[in-house]
Amino acid sequence: MESTYRYFKALRNLALALLIIIVSTAALHFPYDVDAPLTQQELETSRNYYADAYKKPVTKDDVTTEFETKYISVARAAAEAFRIEDHVNQFVERFNLRERPVLEIGSGRGYLQDLAQNYTGLDISPTVARFYRKKFVLGSATAMPFPDNSFEGAWSIWVFEHVPNPEHAFREARRVTRDNGVLFLLVAWNCTPWAADGYEVRPYSDFGFKGKFIKASIPLRSWPLFRSMAVIPNRILRDLVSRLEPTILRYRRLTPNYEKYWVPDSDAVNSIDRHEAMLWFRSRGDECLNCEGSSGSVLMSGMPNSMPLIIRVRKAAK
């Protein structure tokens, strides 16, 4: 009898310890940040960074900088690896957007401009205009220079993680899209705070004690079970909140590295969870067309650079 009591007591203590770990982990990873106004200096820093990334040499004899070469080559390789052109082409075909007005948000060099005839590219960098055969508009994702309901569809590829106020950008994307229009939003979900300093690719010798500890912790923090302990409790809480009223987009603000492009998303300014983004649209009456289940499961995938959200905008719903 006493041994049984000790067994259940030990089991209870283990369960309590596990609960404390889960709650603590979830609390540490809760997306506390929301949109805030930016200073003019912050805006200029961001604009200049992306303008430099796409900067054209002044003469044919000039050599492209190491930074530009790496930035563009990494972007190109990622686009090929994830078959971005194929996926967007399927989106255009599926929703009959080939001849309808469409917008690409954060269009960069416009390598997807030929997927639709009535295409408009929007980008914050003025130096990319030379790459366009279709319409190009200089502008920010958070303040698009278009009237309401301008487009039947829109897509954005790995852009919103670089937008300092992503909820403003979501709101703008929804505003310029017509009722029953569709959005293809591929965000680098759940960007990591250690990407900016290249912890995954740099040797231990590059770091002091704190840096070595951070680098050593990455395998644990990247472990799917650990990620689930951090994400799922927060998703459950946020899901309940979203059913009461339209949600505020919550995310984790990151410190971007505009000096050295170590790995993809070294320059990310925020970390958005795919489920959180889905809730933002769903709580406004929109429909996610590629979410698990009828409304999107808390177990939905959202690893970096993987799954888009395909949203049907329902402006008349709420």
Residue 286 C-beta-side C-alpha neighbours within 13 Å: 30
The whole-number average pLDDT for the span 24-38 is 70
Report the distance separating Cα 116 and Cα 57, nearest Å.
30
- The secondary element (H helix, E strand) that includes residue 120 is strand 119-123
Q: pLDDT confidence of 28, banded at 50, 70, 90?
A: low
Both tokens assigned to 188: 């680098």
pLDDT in tens, 82-121: 889 999 999 999 999 999 999 999 998 899 999 999 999 9
The pLDDT, as a whole number, for residue 56 is: 52
User: How does the average pLDDT of the chain come out, rounded?
Assistant: 84
**% of the chain exceeding 70 in pLDDT:** 77
Taken as a whole, the chain contains a residue count of 318
Q: Where are the domains of the chain?
A: 1-30, 32-312
The identity of residue 157, as a single letter, is: I
Report the distance separating Cα 42 and Cα 254, nearest Å.
14
Report the distance separating Cα 44 and Cα 9, nearest Å.
60
The whole-number average pLDDT for the span 110-135 is 93
Q: Read off the pTM.
A: 0.84
Q: pLDDT confidence of 33, banded at 50, 70, 90?
A: confident
The pLDDT, as a whole number, for residue 94 is: 97
Using alpha carbons, select from 144, 89, 101 the residue that is nearest to residue 122.
Answer: 144
Both tokens assigned to 302: 């959202």
pLDDT in tens, 230-289: 888 889 989 998 888 899 999 999 999 988 888 888 999 999 999 999 999 999 999 999
The structural architecture, per CATH, of the domain 32-312 is 3-Layer(aba) Sandwich (3.40)
Q: pLDDT confidence of 133, banded at 50, 70, 90?
A: very high
pLDDT in tens, 142-191: 989 999 999 999 999 999 999 989 999 999 999 999 999 999 999 999 99
Q: Which residue has the tokens 């409790």?
A: 233
Query: Is residue 1 scored above 70 in pLDDT?
Result: no
Contact yes or no for 291/300 (Cβ under 8 A): yes
The pLDDT, as a whole number, for residue 210 is: 92
Q: pLDDT confidence of 294, banded at 50, 70, 90?
A: very low
| Interacting residues of 270 by C-beta distance below 8 A, sequence separation 6+ | 33, 160, 161, 163, 164, 166, 191, 251, 252, 253, 254
Cα of 59 vs its chain's centroid, Å: 36
Q: Looking at per-residue confidence, does 313 or 40 come out higher? A: 313
Report the distance separating Cα 253 and Cα 247, nearest Å.
18
Using alpha carbons, select from 116, 99, 98 the residue that is nearest to residue 107.
Answer: 116
